[in-house]
Amino acid sequence: MKVLLQRVSRADVRVDGSVTGRTGPGFLILVGIGRNDTEADLEWMAAKLVNLRVFPDEAGNMNRSILDTGGGILAVSQFTLHADCSRGRRPSFIGAGDPSTASALFDLFVRRLRDLGPEVQTGVFGASMEVSLVNDGPVTIMLDSPSEASCRRQDRQP
C-alpha cells in the first residue's frame, strides 16, 4: 500500500463536475492499493496517518497529529502510485491491486480511518476525478506499508 500524503489548507475532488468529497485543514491522501496488500497493511497505514506529527505546534514545530488538530482527510484512490517506469516509456501497473479487491480494501481503509476519529471524505473509486488542493507548507510525504517496503527490498536482492 502506498499513500501520498499532502498537508492541505483545503482540498476537493470532483467527478463529472460535482464535488464528491472535500476537506478544510487536514490531509489529502492519494491511496494506491497494491496486489499484495492485506488488512494488516490497512491497519498499519491508518494508525500511521492519524498519529503522524506533521502539524505545527505553538512554536511552529511539526509536533501535532491530525487527531490533535481535529483536521479532516480527503482520501482519493490512485492506482498510478504503483506505476513501474523502470523499463520503456509506458508505465506498467502490474503492482496495482485488482480493481474489485482494491475497491473493497480502499473502502475498508476509509472505514478504519473514520473509526480512529477524523472526518473522512472520498472521491469515487475507479472514476476519472479532478482533484484541487492548497498544499500547506508545502508538506508532502510518501508512505509505504510494511508489505510494500518488503516487496521493494526483495526486488533489490540479487
Catalytic residue among 79, 106, 109, 125: 79
Burial 127-142 (b: 16+ CB within 10 A, else e): eebebebeebeeeeee
Catalytic residue among 23, 78, 121, 122: 78
33 within 8 A of 96, measured Cβ to Cβ: yes
Q: Is 79 a catalytic residue?
A: yes
25 within 8 A of 36, measured Cβ to Cβ: no
Residue position matching grid coordinates 480511518: 113
Q: Is 80 a catalytic residue?
A: yes
138 within 8 A of 26, measured Cβ to Cβ: no
Cα gap 36→113, rounded to integer Å: 20
Q: Is 27 a catalytic residue?
A: no
CB neighbour list of residue 155: distance below 8 Å, 6 or more residues apart: none
The three cell numbers locating residue 135: 498544499
Active site residues: 78-80
